[in-house]
Amino acid sequence: NLAPTTSTLKKGEVTAGIYVVGVGVTDDFMVAVSPWFNHFYNMNNAIIKTKLYSDDSKSLGLQTAYFKSNNKADLFEADSYYQMEASISNLIMTNKINPLYTVSSNISYHYYFDETVPFSVRRESFNENPYQLNFSSFHEISLEDNLSLGLEVGVLGLNYLYPQLITGASFNYKGKKWQMQLGLSFTGTINGYMSDDSIDNNKALNGYTSQDKDKGRLDFSAHPEIQLQYYF
């Protein structure tokens, strides 16, 4: 989620699935929306991605997304948990190291116009900055023709009081016309990773983010990564 690749749909190609519905406008430019965020987070959203440069072994890309929730958060109503508006931009460099290993490195800038109750990658920063800076990398390792292993590692909130480590692993199966990915990712402070007393600080106060710095120092959360996509 935090470290996309530079891959884009070809002109006229369409994908539809749990995670994204998108179309290739040109071979190097695509637009999309995410049913996942619309359904599970009740957020209107739009995503564009373009390749800025590519050759046989590396490519440079830019992805920009916008999210705005339809909820008016209420402290005592779990079904209106999220309330946020944000823009998220990623500068992406993908390098094909060899036929079996590809790495995509991301520098991302998030700006939160509203973060009353934000989604999982906006942890409490303990400062007044409406933005956050992240660095992340996605490592794709080919296991056989259609199966690959994905590993993600990075730093979430470089400008936070307590920057967080993000790690993840997923298995990806690609058929001729469809793709399935199952995985799990984790975000947390170093203390949160190592302590038995870790807590999901974004839900520490009746579903709301706690301002308690002791809880923030022990912040830790886990997130499923599920994708099922078809291509036309």
Going by pLDDT thresholds of 50, 70 and 90, the confidence category of residue 74 is confident
Answer for the pair 135, 155: CB distance below 8 angstroms, yes or no.
yes
**What pLDDT score does 80 carry?**
65
Q: How large is the C-alpha radius of gyration of the chain?
A: 18
Q: Cα 136 to chain center, whole Å? A: 10
19 Cβ contact list (under 8 Å, min separation 6): 34, 35, 36, 226, 227, 228, 229
* 76 compared with 99, residue with greater pLDDT: 99
**Residue 56 is inside which H or E element, if any?**
none
Going by pLDDT thresholds of 50, 70 and 90, the confidence category of residue 225 is confident
> pLDDT tens for residues 104-156?
999 999 999 999 889 889 999 999 999 999 999 999 999 988 999 999 999 99
Would you state the structure tokens that stand for residue 156, as one six-digit string? 């979430």
Q: What percent of the chain has pLDDT over 70?
A: 97
**What pLDDT score does 81 carry?**
76
Place of tokens 């303990």: 126
Going by pLDDT thresholds of 50, 70 and 90, the confidence category of residue 25 is very high
Answer for the pair 156, 2: CB distance below 8 angstroms, yes or no.
yes
pTM exceeds 0.85: yes
Going by pLDDT thresholds of 50, 70 and 90, the confidence category of residue 78 is low
Asked if pLDDT for residue 201 goes beyond 70, the answer is yes
Asked if pLDDT for residue 98 goes beyond 80, the answer is yes
* Secondary structure E strands in the chain: 14-17, 21-26, 29-33, 43-54, 58-69, 83-98, 101-117, 131-142, 147-156, 164-174, 178-188, 220-231
Asked if pLDDT for residue 77 goes beyond 70, the answer is no
**What pLDDT score does 123 carry?**
95
The residue-averaged pLDDT of 55-73 equals 94
What mean pLDDT, rounded, does the chain reach? Answer: 94
- Please tell me whether residue 113 adopts helix, strand or coil conformation: strand
46 to 22, 81, 110, 223: CA distances (angstroms): 10, 21, 15, 22
**What pLDDT score does 76 carry?**
66
**What pLDDT score does 46 carry?**
98
Region for residue 197 given its phi and psi (left: phi exceeds 0; alpha: psi -120 to 50; beta: otherwise) = alpha
φ, ψ (nearest 5 deg) of residue 190: -60, -40
The residue-averaged pLDDT of 185-203 equals 94
The residue-averaged pLDDT of 97-101 equals 96
- Please tell me whether residue 178 adopts helix, strand or coil conformation: strand
Going by pLDDT thresholds of 50, 70 and 90, the confidence category of residue 1 is low
Residues 30, 177: Cα–Cα separation, whole Å: 18
